[in-house]
Chains A and B, each alone.
Chain A
């Protein structure tokens, strides 16, 4: 009886019982009538009729298959039976549960991350109406100026014009993610900050749980140093102990105090999944932190704001996108920065807006990691499939061992569906146990995954707890796996002709046809493993290639210390302070050499401009080059050779001729590889300003700038002392003798002696380099781990099937021996059998790898996804593993004693 019919019975159990009573009553009455007709007295007729019909209750008992209590009873019995079977074979149960748990756990962990950054809607009012605006158009979106955001950002002026002119949105907010330093002196402590338009909470429909939001504050008020700060629930708990009198107190952000105005609810993490926010300030407060005292609100070249808008009812994303595209020319015309030269302005005017859905928020994490995560999901899915195939094979083997038992039960009347249910119950128990262990494993794995992706510069906060999505996914996975590995063996086991099984199934020919499914499963395993192994080799080779890139400097034992000072207004005093710092660092015990630099390598920050060599008279259209500023001894400190000319010295100051040191790649690019020392070059200036002209005084070796993938970055270095706008901070690279930890504490001690308001931040370049290839490391490490796991599982599967086949073919092999076959013949027979399966699997695997390769292409560095060498190595590796897995069963077959084998017949 199908389960839904039983379930219906649950609701009509009462009626069913009444019906049965009625029916039996009728039967009784008719029988009594007949007996009376036959001449029995009424009393005797009743007695006999009752006797014939038996007791009512017995009747009802016989029909119990239809009622729910009885069904539950059956389920209980099935579960007990399944548990007993598993207990009989604890080794099998352990292997099964463990391999399922690994597969399910890994899948769930990756799903949790994907769910958090991609699938879950923002925890705000009607997230489906939310959209964001991105850079569209068919040509490159032109952005010159300062870039401040990891998102696709826009200028304040563009956003204001857009808000005024558009008709598609009912509301529109803008935000800028940043970090605030909470510490007043010594080592920096950072809070994740957000600058937001004052309608931020209103657009999202969030009500503060204490205090109030920004409503009433004005966006473009020039100065709003008194603006309230909005804290997230998490930060309020962590930093202020969840104290309600925090409202109205002040908080120190980058050396400026702000009044705490409100607290957001616990569920609200901002608009970027994967990120958290601690403190939000209104946009107008940007001027407080600005060097020029005005802020980016007035800077038409500052690309910093990301918008989120709410569609008006009836507006689709496509319609809004079309509308904004049409508006684009007007908006960009009204916002051209005055500093742009005509050629820049022309390209700027071609820019177009585009609208995309933001129901799941906006996320840089998603942009970078969504594709890799889907690939990893596919990989872990394949591992789970391989584990399922193994289990199916094991269960098939066990089902054959139980053929006799099942045949007997069928013969005494057990129905087929009953047997299938019973066998499936066992699989379901395995799947449930696997899912439970997998769930625990997933919690550990997803936390490890988040920890892996979490870096100091870009902390991510992904809630890894269980939710209904994850739970549903997990349950679905368990059921699918159960059906995948359990159904075929159960159906197969119960479909045999009982008579044949009772006769004893060990005939010499009976096995062939029934092993077909097993063979297909092994082939599929081999094919899947090959695909995973190819992926593993591709990603790890790609990572190795990246890490083997020549940096051009020695990153070992190189520490970066960034200092910031607040509250020192006079540039003169700052200059003295940083000079003092330079001297002290250089003479610190344990320090070999230290030098200031504007952007340390792999910091993630950079500066580039268009350059013309002295022979090039063109005003515009120069080639781009990276720029940097350093103090004397920088090249010696990082270990880059000076190839010609000189390093900067104390004569290169403001007012003296502007000089530059360039690298070999720069010389190659602008001076055709000739020695450029003594030559000059121009960097394109802004509209109305003359180009800056620099004289090259030195040539150094080529170093990487921010990206390992950039083959030969051309860099021009300028002296630190010729910077006419020194900021509040200075960064030093320090090469030390001992450990980096002791170096850090020595520098920190020294910092406190120089000035108690001095803040310091440390970075290790080697770590930053590793973090710059985070995505590649994620793919390489995980795909390698899963590739190896897949290979092992497949080898296990092949071993199991070959052992089984050899065991089943004992008689046949015995006969062969009796007819004069040598041990070598038998050995070959078994090996050939396995080789055909493996070869077929490999062939399918190669084709699948080639078909799937395009998904990996974009994640590879200097490597084709169809690299033949990698395909061949993966196939050879797998073939060797398969060979080892076949060795044991083949040897067992060859060592068989013919007499023993035949006697068993």
Chain B
């Protein structure tokens, strides 16, 4: 079942994660957090409390896949990678996000 449009706020986090994984390749949860934080100039703060449940849900939905690997520091970490279904979902969400921002921008400009 496609996620309906009104899950906007949840959807944003999903989109950010998917986009990061798409651009940067497989990554662990901590890396995602750090990456989003730095790329957004610390504007977007990803709550760890939201991130992990979101990651698990996305894994269940088949948008991302996960595997356990050993990092350079010798720690065991769960590495996430985007799947084909995830790419499709990302495209949809980016599209609807663009629509939303366009709309908001127009409102700001003309009203």
A residues adjacent to B (C-beta < 8 A): 1, 5, 19-20, 22-24, 26-27, 29-31, 33-34, 52-54, 58-59, 62-63, 65-66, 410-411, 413, 415-417, 495, 497-498
Contacts and interface: CB of A to CB of B under 8 A. Distances in A.
Contacts of B40: none
* Closest 6 pairs (CB-CB, A-B): A30-B30, A63-B53, A26-B77, A27-B30, A23-B78, A62-B53
Interface string B1-28: 1011011011000000000000000001
A49 to B, nearest CB: 10
A66 B68 CA distance: 19
Contact of B48 (A27, A34, A66, A416): A27
B106 interface: no
A415 B8 CA distance: 11
A413 B29 contact: no
Contacts of B4: 410, 416, 495
B99 interface: no
B111 interface: no
Contacts, number: 66
Interface of B: 1, 3-4, 6-7, 9-10, 28-30, 33-34, 48-50, 52-53, 56-57, 60, 68, 73, 75-78
Nearest to A6: B60
A393 B1 CA distance: 24
Contact of A23 (B29, B34, B57): B29
Given A62-B49, A65-B53, A413 B60 contact: no
Contact of A62 (B30, B52, B75, B77): B52
Given A31-B30, A413-B7, A26 B75 contact: yes
A508 to B, nearest CB: 26
A30 B68 CA distance: 16
Nearest to A52: B48
A29 B49 CA distance: 16
Contact of A63 (B7, B28, B52, B75): B52
Contact of B3 (A20, A54, A415): A415
A661 B47 CA distance: 107
14 contacts: A1-B57, A1-B60, A20-B52, A26-B75, A27-B29, A27-B30, A27-B33, A30-B30, A30-B75, A33-B73, A63-B52, A63-B53, A410-B6, A413-B9
Contact of A53 (B1, B48, B53, B78): B48
B49 A416 contact: no
Given A5-B60, A413-B10, A417-B1, A22 B78 contact: yes
B52 A65 contact: no
A68 to B, nearest CB: 14
B99 to A, nearest CB: 15
A267 B96 CA distance: 67
Contacts of A24: 52
Given A30-B75, A53-B48, A59-B49, 8 more contacts: A26-B75, A27-B30, A27-B48, A31-B30, A54-B48, A65-B57, A66-B60, A413-B9
A33 B34 CA distance: 13
A26 B75 CA distance: 7
Contacts of A416: 1, 3-4
A26 B74 CA distance: 11
Nearest to A54: B49
Nearest to B1: A417
Given A29-B75, A417-B1, A23 B6 contact: no
A829 B73 CA distance: 78
Nearest to B4: A416
Contacts of B48: 27, 52-54, 59
A58 B49 contact: yes
Contacts of B34: 34
A816 B28 CA distance: 64
B6 A411 contact: yes
Which residue, A27, A33, A65, A417, has most C-beta atoms of chain B within 10 A?
A27
A857 B6 CA distance: 57
A31 B30 CA distance: 8
A26 B78 contact: yes
Nearest to A66: B56
B1 to A, nearest CB: 6
A62 B47 CA distance: 12
Contacts of B75: 26, 29-30
Contacts of A415: 3, 7
Given A5-B60, A26-B28, A59 B52 contact: yes
Nearest to A16: B56
A26 B51 CA distance: 14
Contacts of A54: 48-49
A498 B49 contact: no
Contacts of A5: 60
Contacts of B10: 413
B6 A498 contact: yes
Which residue, A20, A415, A498, has most C-beta atoms of chain B within 10 A?
A415
Nearest to A5: B60
Nearest to A1: B60
A755 to B, nearest CB: 85
Contacts of B9: 413
Contacts of B53: 62-63, 65
A63 B56 contact: yes
A305 B76 CA distance: 81
A34 B1 CA distance: 40
A65 B73 CA distance: 32
Contacts of B52: 20, 23-24, 59, 62-63
B18 to A, nearest CB: 18
Contact of A26 (B6, B30, B49): B30
Nearest to B2: A416
Nearest to B55: A23
Contacts of B49: 53-54, 58-59, 62
A97 B78 CA distance: 51
Nearest to A407: B6
B4 to A, nearest CB: 5
A494 to B, nearest CB: 8
A30 B28 CA distance: 11
Contacts of B78: 19, 22-23, 26
A112 B3 CA distance: 44
Contacts of A22: 68, 76, 78
Contacts of A59: 48-49, 52
A572 B59 CA distance: 99
B50 to A, nearest CB: 8
Contacts of B76: 22, 26
